[in-house]
Amino acid sequence: MLQPGDRVLAAMSGGVDSSVMAALLHRAGYEVIGVSMQLFEKKAGGASEGKCCTLDDFQDARRVAHEMGFAHYVMDFETRFRDTVIEGFIQGYLDGETPSPCIRCNQHLKFSALMERAESLGAPFVATGHYATITQEGGRWHLQKASDPAKDQSYFLFHHTQATLARTLFPLAQLTKPEVRSLGAELGLHLAEKSESQEICFVTQDRYDSFLEAEGRDPGRGDGDIRHLDGRILGRHHGYWRHTIGQRRGLGIAYAEPLYVVRVEPPTNTVWVGSEADLMGAELLARELTWVDGPPLGPLACQARIRSRSPEADALVIPLPDGRVKVAFAEPQRAIAAGQAVVFYRDGEVLGGGWIDARPE
Protein backbone atom coordinates (compact mmCIF):
# COMPACT_ATOMS: atom_id res chain seq x y z
CA MET A 1 0.00 0.00 0.00
CA LEU A 2 1.11 3.55 -0.73
CA GLN A 3 2.81 5.24 2.21
CA PRO A 4 3.81 8.92 2.71
CA GLY A 5 7.23 9.55 1.24
CA ASP A 6 7.10 6.56 -1.14
CA ARG A 7 8.88 6.96 -4.45
CA VAL A 8 6.51 7.17 -7.41
CA LEU A 9 7.49 7.16 -11.08
CA ALA A 10 5.04 9.55 -12.80
CA ALA A 11 4.51 9.13 -16.55
CA MET A 12 4.43 12.69 -17.94
CA SER A 13 3.37 13.21 -21.55
CA GLY A 14 3.45 17.00 -21.21
CA GLY A 15 -0.33 17.35 -21.18
CA VAL A 16 -2.45 18.87 -18.44
CA ASP A 17 -3.68 15.52 -17.07
CA SER A 18 -0.31 13.93 -16.43
CA SER A 19 1.15 17.24 -15.22
CA VAL A 20 -1.59 17.76 -12.63
CA MET A 21 -1.31 14.09 -11.63
CA ALA A 22 2.42 14.44 -10.91
CA ALA A 23 1.99 17.79 -9.17
CA LEU A 24 -0.73 16.40 -6.89
CA LEU A 25 1.46 13.48 -5.85
CA HIS A 26 4.35 15.83 -5.14
CA ARG A 27 2.14 18.17 -3.11
CA ALA A 28 0.87 15.17 -1.12
CA GLY A 29 4.40 14.40 0.03
CA TYR A 30 5.48 11.56 -2.25
CA GLU A 31 8.91 11.40 -3.87
CA VAL A 32 7.99 11.93 -7.51
CA ILE A 33 10.25 11.08 -10.42
CA GLY A 34 8.75 12.50 -13.60
CA VAL A 35 9.44 10.49 -16.75
CA SER A 36 8.65 11.34 -20.36
CA MET A 37 8.91 8.47 -22.80
CA GLN A 38 10.83 8.96 -26.04
CA LEU A 39 8.86 6.64 -28.31
CA PHE A 40 9.58 7.75 -31.87
CA GLU A 41 11.60 10.31 -33.78
CA LYS A 42 9.99 13.72 -33.72
CA LYS A 43 10.74 17.38 -34.34
CA ALA A 44 9.51 20.46 -32.49
CA GLY A 45 7.03 22.41 -34.61
CA GLY A 46 6.86 19.60 -37.17
CA ALA A 47 4.02 17.54 -38.56
CA SER A 48 3.34 15.95 -35.18
CA GLU A 49 2.69 19.30 -33.53
CA GLY A 50 -0.52 19.22 -31.50
CA LYS A 51 -0.17 15.52 -30.70
CA CYS A 52 1.14 14.01 -27.50
CA CYS A 53 4.78 13.23 -26.77
CA THR A 54 6.34 15.91 -28.99
CA LEU A 55 9.55 17.69 -28.04
CA ASP A 56 7.50 20.71 -26.99
CA ASP A 57 5.47 18.43 -24.72
CA PHE A 58 8.67 17.17 -23.10
CA GLN A 59 9.69 20.77 -22.46
CA ASP A 60 6.29 21.38 -20.85
CA ALA A 61 6.74 18.32 -18.61
CA ARG A 62 10.26 19.39 -17.63
CA ARG A 63 9.02 22.88 -16.79
CA VAL A 64 6.24 21.50 -14.56
CA ALA A 65 8.76 19.35 -12.70
CA HIS A 66 11.05 22.36 -12.26
CA GLU A 67 8.19 24.55 -11.04
CA MET A 68 7.10 21.93 -8.50
CA GLY A 69 10.59 20.89 -7.46
CA PHE A 70 10.90 17.24 -8.45
CA ALA A 71 13.16 15.36 -10.86
CA HIS A 72 12.29 14.80 -14.51
CA TYR A 73 13.92 12.53 -17.08
CA VAL A 74 13.36 11.59 -20.71
CA MET A 75 13.79 7.85 -21.24
CA ASP A 76 14.38 6.18 -24.60
CA PHE A 77 11.87 3.46 -25.47
CA GLU A 78 11.97 3.87 -29.26
CA THR A 79 13.02 0.29 -30.07
CA ARG A 80 10.40 -1.28 -27.85
CA PHE A 81 7.71 1.07 -29.16
CA ARG A 82 8.63 0.23 -32.75
CA ASP A 83 8.60 -3.52 -32.08
CA THR A 84 5.41 -3.73 -29.98
CA VAL A 85 3.23 -0.85 -31.20
CA ILE A 86 4.21 0.51 -34.63
CA GLU A 87 4.95 -2.85 -36.23
CA GLY A 88 1.70 -4.27 -34.87
CA PHE A 89 -0.18 -1.23 -36.18
CA ILE A 90 1.24 -1.71 -39.66
CA GLN A 91 0.70 -5.46 -39.72
CA GLY A 92 -2.85 -5.04 -38.47
CA TYR A 93 -3.84 -2.97 -41.48
CA LEU A 94 -2.04 -5.34 -43.86
CA ASP A 95 -4.06 -8.17 -42.29
CA GLY A 96 -7.29 -6.31 -42.99
CA GLU A 97 -7.82 -5.28 -39.36
CA THR A 98 -8.38 -1.94 -37.62
CA PRO A 99 -5.62 -1.67 -34.98
CA SER A 100 -5.82 0.14 -31.64
CA PRO A 101 -2.23 1.28 -30.93
CA CYS A 102 -3.00 3.32 -27.80
CA ILE A 103 -4.01 0.18 -25.89
CA ARG A 104 -0.87 -1.62 -27.06
CA CYS A 105 1.20 1.35 -25.87
CA ASN A 106 -0.44 1.26 -22.45
CA GLN A 107 0.10 -2.48 -22.19
CA HIS A 108 3.68 -2.79 -23.43
CA LEU A 109 5.16 0.60 -22.58
CA LYS A 110 3.43 2.44 -19.73
CA PHE A 111 2.55 -0.60 -17.66
CA SER A 112 5.35 -2.97 -18.65
CA ALA A 113 8.52 -1.20 -19.78
CA LEU A 114 7.90 1.72 -17.45
CA MET A 115 7.23 -0.58 -14.49
CA GLU A 116 10.51 -2.36 -15.20
CA ARG A 117 12.30 0.99 -15.21
CA ALA A 118 10.52 2.02 -12.00
CA GLU A 119 11.70 -1.14 -10.27
CA SER A 120 15.30 -0.41 -11.26
CA LEU A 121 14.91 3.07 -9.72
CA GLY A 122 13.49 1.73 -6.47
CA ALA A 123 10.02 3.15 -7.17
CA PRO A 124 7.26 0.77 -6.00
CA PHE A 125 4.56 2.62 -7.95
CA VAL A 126 3.88 3.98 -11.43
CA ALA A 127 1.31 6.78 -11.76
CA THR A 128 -0.41 8.01 -14.91
CA GLY A 129 -3.01 10.62 -15.78
CA HIS A 130 -5.62 8.09 -16.90
CA TYR A 131 -9.22 8.50 -15.78
CA ALA A 132 -10.01 5.15 -14.16
CA THR A 133 -10.40 3.85 -10.61
CA ILE A 134 -8.44 1.21 -8.70
CA THR A 135 -9.91 -0.18 -5.49
CA GLN A 136 -9.02 -3.03 -3.15
CA GLU A 137 -11.55 -5.28 -1.49
CA GLY A 138 -11.34 -8.74 -0.04
CA GLY A 139 -7.61 -8.88 -0.71
CA ARG A 140 -8.15 -8.38 -4.46
CA TRP A 141 -7.60 -5.37 -6.70
CA HIS A 142 -10.43 -4.05 -8.88
CA LEU A 143 -10.36 -1.80 -11.96
CA GLN A 144 -13.45 0.36 -12.32
CA LYS A 145 -14.67 3.26 -14.39
CA ALA A 146 -13.73 6.81 -13.51
CA SER A 147 -16.28 8.93 -11.68
CA ASP A 148 -16.68 11.17 -14.75
CA PRO A 149 -18.33 9.10 -17.54
CA ALA A 150 -17.27 11.65 -20.15
CA LYS A 151 -13.58 11.04 -19.40
CA ASP A 152 -13.57 7.37 -18.40
CA GLN A 153 -10.61 5.54 -19.97
CA SER A 154 -11.08 2.09 -18.44
CA TYR A 155 -11.60 0.58 -21.92
CA PHE A 156 -7.94 1.33 -22.74
CA LEU A 157 -6.71 -0.40 -19.56
CA PHE A 158 -8.29 -3.86 -19.73
CA HIS A 159 -4.85 -5.51 -19.87
CA HIS A 160 -4.22 -4.89 -16.16
CA THR A 161 -3.77 -7.83 -13.80
CA GLN A 162 -3.60 -8.15 -10.03
CA ALA A 163 0.18 -7.69 -10.19
CA THR A 164 0.08 -4.46 -12.22
CA LEU A 165 -2.89 -2.92 -10.40
CA ALA A 166 -1.03 -3.34 -7.10
CA ARG A 167 1.69 -1.02 -8.43
CA THR A 168 -0.44 1.49 -10.36
CA LEU A 169 -1.87 4.84 -9.28
CA PHE A 170 -4.57 6.87 -11.05
CA PRO A 171 -4.74 10.09 -8.98
CA LEU A 172 -7.32 11.70 -11.32
CA ALA A 173 -9.91 8.93 -10.87
CA GLN A 174 -12.43 11.04 -8.96
CA LEU A 175 -11.95 14.28 -10.91
CA THR A 176 -13.60 15.83 -13.95
CA LYS A 177 -11.62 17.54 -16.69
CA PRO A 178 -12.74 21.04 -15.57
CA GLU A 179 -11.62 20.18 -12.04
CA VAL A 180 -8.24 19.04 -13.35
CA ARG A 181 -7.78 22.30 -15.25
CA SER A 182 -8.82 24.25 -12.17
CA LEU A 183 -6.28 22.37 -10.08
CA GLY A 184 -3.64 23.08 -12.70
CA ALA A 185 -4.33 26.79 -12.39
CA GLU A 186 -4.38 26.56 -8.58
CA LEU A 187 -1.01 24.80 -8.64
CA GLY A 188 0.36 27.53 -10.88
CA LEU A 189 1.06 25.23 -13.81
CA HIS A 190 1.63 27.09 -17.06
CA LEU A 191 -0.28 24.55 -19.18
CA ALA A 192 -3.57 24.42 -17.26
CA GLU A 193 -5.50 25.39 -20.44
CA LYS A 194 -3.46 23.31 -22.87
CA SER A 195 -5.64 21.56 -25.47
CA GLU A 196 -5.97 17.78 -25.63
CA SER A 197 -4.68 15.47 -28.33
CA GLN A 198 -6.94 12.77 -29.75
CA GLU A 199 -4.80 11.58 -32.66
CA ILE A 200 -2.35 8.68 -32.99
CA CYS A 201 0.96 10.20 -31.91
CA PHE A 202 3.25 8.63 -34.53
CA VAL A 203 0.96 9.08 -37.57
CA THR A 204 2.23 12.53 -38.38
CA GLN A 205 0.10 13.24 -41.46
CA ASP A 206 -3.16 12.32 -39.66
CA ARG A 207 -3.69 9.67 -42.38
CA TYR A 208 -2.74 6.12 -41.54
CA ASP A 209 -2.59 5.13 -45.23
CA SER A 210 -0.01 7.87 -45.89
CA PHE A 211 1.93 6.58 -42.88
CA LEU A 212 1.94 3.03 -44.29
CA GLU A 213 3.12 4.37 -47.64
CA ALA A 214 5.88 6.37 -45.96
CA GLU A 215 6.93 3.20 -44.14
CA GLY A 216 7.24 1.41 -47.46
CA ARG A 217 4.83 -1.29 -46.31
CA ASP A 218 2.45 -1.39 -49.27
CA PRO A 219 1.77 -5.12 -49.71
CA GLY A 220 2.19 -4.65 -53.44
CA ARG A 221 -1.16 -6.06 -54.52
CA GLY A 222 -2.30 -2.79 -56.06
CA ASP A 223 -5.87 -2.08 -57.06
CA GLY A 224 -8.59 -4.64 -56.45
CA ASP A 225 -12.31 -5.19 -56.61
CA ILE A 226 -14.98 -3.56 -54.49
CA ARG A 227 -17.75 -6.13 -54.40
CA HIS A 228 -21.26 -6.03 -53.07
CA LEU A 229 -22.15 -8.89 -50.74
CA ASP A 230 -24.37 -10.22 -53.51
CA GLY A 231 -21.24 -10.79 -55.58
CA ARG A 232 -21.46 -7.88 -58.03
CA ILE A 233 -18.31 -5.86 -58.74
CA LEU A 234 -19.21 -2.20 -58.11
CA GLY A 235 -15.84 -0.54 -58.44
CA ARG A 236 -12.11 -0.65 -57.78
CA HIS A 237 -10.09 0.21 -54.68
CA HIS A 238 -6.50 1.50 -54.55
CA GLY A 239 -5.33 -0.70 -51.68
CA TYR A 240 -7.58 -2.77 -49.43
CA TRP A 241 -5.67 -1.49 -46.39
CA ARG A 242 -7.07 1.99 -47.03
CA HIS A 243 -10.52 0.76 -45.96
CA THR A 244 -11.98 -0.06 -42.55
CA ILE A 245 -15.18 -1.70 -41.34
CA GLY A 246 -18.09 0.73 -41.26
CA GLN A 247 -16.48 3.17 -43.71
CA ARG A 248 -18.92 4.99 -45.97
CA ARG A 249 -16.99 7.86 -47.52
CA GLY A 250 -14.25 7.52 -50.09
CA LEU A 251 -15.54 4.43 -51.87
CA GLY A 252 -16.03 6.23 -55.19
CA ILE A 253 -19.20 4.32 -55.99
CA ALA A 254 -22.51 5.79 -57.14
CA TYR A 255 -25.32 3.62 -55.78
CA ALA A 256 -29.02 3.90 -55.04
CA GLU A 257 -28.51 3.56 -51.28
CA PRO A 258 -25.63 4.23 -48.88
CA LEU A 259 -22.92 1.56 -48.96
CA TYR A 260 -20.55 0.63 -46.14
CA VAL A 261 -17.42 -1.49 -45.93
CA VAL A 262 -18.49 -4.71 -44.24
CA ARG A 263 -15.40 -6.89 -44.83
CA VAL A 264 -11.79 -6.42 -45.94
CA GLU A 265 -10.28 -9.55 -47.47
CA PRO A 266 -6.49 -9.39 -48.02
CA PRO A 267 -6.06 -12.89 -49.56
CA THR A 268 -8.29 -11.95 -52.51
CA ASN A 269 -7.47 -8.21 -52.45
CA THR A 270 -11.20 -7.51 -52.14
CA VAL A 271 -13.21 -4.90 -50.24
CA TRP A 272 -16.78 -6.04 -49.62
CA VAL A 273 -19.61 -3.53 -49.19
CA GLY A 274 -23.25 -3.72 -48.20
CA SER A 275 -26.07 -1.87 -46.50
CA GLU A 276 -26.04 -0.58 -42.93
CA ALA A 277 -28.07 -3.65 -41.95
CA ASP A 278 -25.17 -5.78 -43.20
CA LEU A 279 -22.89 -4.12 -40.64
CA MET A 280 -24.83 -5.64 -37.76
CA GLY A 281 -23.41 -8.71 -36.04
CA ALA A 282 -24.54 -10.69 -33.03
CA GLU A 283 -21.29 -12.57 -32.33
CA LEU A 284 -17.53 -12.16 -32.42
CA LEU A 285 -14.40 -14.17 -31.66
CA ALA A 286 -11.63 -12.66 -29.52
CA ARG A 287 -7.99 -13.65 -28.99
CA GLU A 288 -5.18 -12.67 -26.57
CA LEU A 289 -7.46 -12.48 -23.56
CA THR A 290 -6.41 -10.76 -20.35
CA TRP A 291 -8.39 -11.07 -17.10
CA VAL A 292 -8.05 -8.73 -14.12
CA ASP A 293 -8.76 -11.50 -11.62
CA GLY A 294 -8.33 -14.72 -13.57
CA PRO A 295 -10.25 -16.25 -16.50
CA PRO A 296 -13.84 -17.45 -16.13
CA LEU A 297 -14.33 -21.16 -15.59
CA GLY A 298 -17.36 -21.25 -17.88
CA PRO A 299 -19.74 -18.96 -19.78
CA LEU A 300 -19.68 -15.42 -18.36
CA ALA A 301 -22.69 -13.10 -18.46
CA CYS A 302 -21.50 -9.49 -18.57
CA GLN A 303 -21.56 -6.29 -20.61
CA ALA A 304 -19.13 -5.93 -23.52
CA ARG A 305 -17.85 -2.85 -25.34
CA ILE A 306 -16.42 -3.23 -28.87
CA ARG A 307 -14.89 0.25 -29.26
CA SER A 308 -13.90 3.07 -26.95
CA ARG A 309 -16.90 5.29 -27.66
CA SER A 310 -19.54 2.59 -27.82
CA PRO A 311 -21.85 1.78 -24.90
CA GLU A 312 -21.60 -1.60 -23.22
CA ALA A 313 -24.05 -4.25 -24.42
CA ASP A 314 -25.31 -7.36 -22.65
CA ALA A 315 -23.33 -10.38 -23.78
CA LEU A 316 -22.36 -13.94 -22.97
CA VAL A 317 -18.62 -14.75 -23.12
CA ILE A 318 -17.99 -18.41 -23.94
CA PRO A 319 -14.43 -19.80 -23.54
CA LEU A 320 -13.23 -21.90 -26.49
CA PRO A 321 -10.74 -24.81 -26.49
CA ASP A 322 -8.19 -22.83 -28.54
CA GLY A 323 -7.85 -20.10 -25.90
CA ARG A 324 -10.13 -17.65 -27.65
CA VAL A 325 -13.65 -16.71 -26.57
CA LYS A 326 -16.91 -16.32 -28.44
CA VAL A 327 -18.93 -13.28 -27.45
CA ALA A 328 -22.66 -13.56 -28.12
CA PHE A 329 -24.59 -10.29 -27.80
CA ALA A 330 -28.20 -10.01 -26.67
CA GLU A 331 -28.71 -7.45 -29.46
CA PRO A 332 -26.72 -7.13 -32.73
CA GLN A 333 -23.84 -4.66 -32.68
CA ARG A 334 -22.80 -2.28 -35.46
CA ALA A 335 -19.48 -2.56 -37.32
CA ILE A 336 -17.63 -5.22 -35.32
CA ALA A 337 -14.03 -4.75 -36.48
CA ALA A 338 -11.17 -7.23 -36.15
CA GLY A 339 -8.15 -5.65 -34.48
CA GLN A 340 -10.20 -3.54 -32.07
CA ALA A 341 -10.49 -4.42 -28.40
CA VAL A 342 -13.54 -5.96 -26.78
CA VAL A 343 -13.70 -5.19 -23.06
CA PHE A 344 -15.89 -6.94 -20.53
CA TYR A 345 -17.63 -5.10 -17.67
CA ARG A 346 -19.94 -5.87 -14.80
CA ASP A 347 -21.54 -3.02 -12.84
CA GLY A 348 -18.87 -0.58 -13.98
CA GLU A 349 -15.96 -2.89 -13.18
CA VAL A 350 -13.53 -4.15 -15.83
CA LEU A 351 -13.34 -7.94 -15.83
CA GLY A 352 -10.91 -8.24 -18.70
CA GLY A 353 -10.82 -8.08 -22.46
CA GLY A 354 -9.08 -9.15 -25.64
CA TRP A 355 -8.64 -8.43 -29.32
CA ILE A 356 -11.44 -9.00 -31.81
CA ASP A 357 -10.34 -11.77 -34.15
CA ALA A 358 -13.33 -12.13 -36.46
CA ARG A 359 -17.07 -12.32 -36.79
CA PRO A 360 -18.11 -15.97 -36.95
CA GLU A 361 -19.40 -16.92 -40.38
The domains of the chain are located at 7-186, 219-274, 281-358
Tell me what pLDDT residue 52 has: 62
Q: Is the pLDDT of residue 360 over 90?
A: no
Q: Which residue has the higher pLDDT, 354 or 219?
A: 354
pLDDT tier, 53 (very low <50, low <70, confident <90, very high otherwise): low
pLDDT at position 196: 72
Give the pairing of strands 325-334 and 280-291: antiparallel
Topology annotation, domain 219-274 = SH3 type barrels. (2.30.30)
Q: Known catalytic residue: 52?
A: no
pLDDT at 50: 45
- What whole-number percentage of the chain has pLDDT above 90? 78
Close Cβ partners of 131 (under 8 Å, ≥ 6 residues apart)? 17, 146, 148, 151, 152, 153, 170, 172, 173, 175
The chain-wide mean pLDDT, for the chain, equals 91
Please tell me what DSSP assigns to residue 15. S
The amino acid present at 269, given as its one-letter code, is: N
- Reported as a pLDDT band with limits 50, 70 and 90, residue 305 is very high
Which of 143-177 are b and which e, b meaning 16 or more Cβ less than 10 Å from the residue's Cβ?
bbbbebeebbbbbbbbbbbeebbebbbbbbbebbe
The answer, yes or no, to whether residue 212 has pLDDT greater than 90, is no
- The answer, yes or no, to whether residue 173 has pLDDT greater than 50, is yes
What distance in Å separates the CA atoms of residue 27 and residue 215, rounded to the nearest whole number?
Answer: 44
Mean pLDDT, range 200-224, rounded to an integer = 78
pLDDT of residue 352: 98
Whether pLDDT at 278 is above 60: yes
Residue 45 has pLDDT above 60, yes or no: no
Mean pLDDT, rounded, for 339-355: 97
Task: Inform me whether the pLDDT recorded for 204 exceeds 80.
Answer: no
Q: Which of 52, 53, 102, 201 is catalytic?
A: 201
Active site includes 302?
no
> What pLDDT does residue 220 have?
62
By the 10 Å C-beta count (0-12 exposed, 13-18 middle, 19+ buried), 130 is classed as: buried
Measure the N-to-C terminal CA separation of the chain; round to a whole number of Å: 48
Q: Which of 352, 348, 351 is nearest to 146 (CA)?
A: 348
Is 42 a residue whose pLDDT tops 90?
no
Cα 357 from Cα 340, distance rounded (Å): 8
Q: Give the best-scoring range by mean pLDDT among 41-45, 201-205, 253-257.
A: 253-257
- DSSP one-letter code for 163: H
The CA-CA-CA angle for residues 156, 161, 167, to 5°, reads: 95
Residue 51 pLDDT grade (very low, low, confident, very high; cuts 50, 70, 90):
low
Q: Cα dihedral angle (165, 171, 174, 180), rounded to 10 degrees?
A: -150
DSSP conformational letter for 242 = G
CA–CA distance, 337 with 97 (Å, rounded to integer): 7
The yes-or-no verdict on residue 47 having pLDDT over 60 is: no
pLDDT value of position 218: 63
Q: Give residue 49's pLDDT band: very low, low, confident or very high (50, 70, 90).
A: very low
What architecture is domain 7-186? 3-Layer(aba) Sandwich (3.40)
CA pseudo-torsion sign 333, 286, 354, 318: positive
Q: What is the CATH number of domain 281-358?
A: 2.40.30.10
Residue 135 reports pLDDT greater than 60: yes
Please give the average per-residue pLDDT across 127-131, as a whole number: 97
Strand order in the sheet with 224-228: 233-237, 224-228, 270-274, 260-265
pLDDT reported for residue 191: 75
Question: Which is more confidently placed, 269 or 219?
Answer: 269
State the maximum Cα–Cα separation within the chain, in Å, rounded to a whole number. Answer: 68
pTM: 0.92
